Amino acid sequence: MVDQGSGVEIMYSDLYKGLNLKLKDLTTYDSPLISFDGKAIVPKGQIRLPMQSGSEVVEVNFIVVDAYSPYTAIVARPWLYDLGFVSSTLHLKVKFPSGDQIEKLVGSQSMARQCMAAAILHQPEVESSASAEGGS
């Protein structure tokens, strides 16, 4: 997901584990983040990784969080600026200069809808007041 309003790139723990990265690979990042639902999240840490977009490769600082998301990562302003990207959320597309041409990355409307539906339907586990009071 591309979030033009965010100042940090986020990687969710499922992707982090899928890349076979270990907790010891993280550096400290102790500023809490606010999730889309308004809750504070304490990051597990930060890692700098190369990220390829078309033929361009840049180093990106990802903040790793252990929270639910239908996305695996969120790229934001720093990544967009580093590559000179121009993004359109309406068209699910980003364009950027590469050599003497303009390259583009195109998202999927159906995948965007699936992610949005998953985010809306996700109900975090909430402890009921009855179980919190010992079943009374």
The pTM score is 0.64
DSSP code, position 28: P
Quick: pLDDT tens for 86-125: 777 767 777 877 778 887 777 666 766 666 666 666 665 5
**Domain positions in the chain:** 9-123
Asked if residues 51 and 33 have their Cβ atoms less than 8 Å apart, the reply is: no
For strand 9-12 and strand 56-65, is the pairing parallel, antiparallel, or unpaired? parallel
The dotted CATH code for 9-123 is: 2.40.70.10
pLDDT tens-place string over residues 65-93: 888 777 777 777 777 777 777 777 767 77
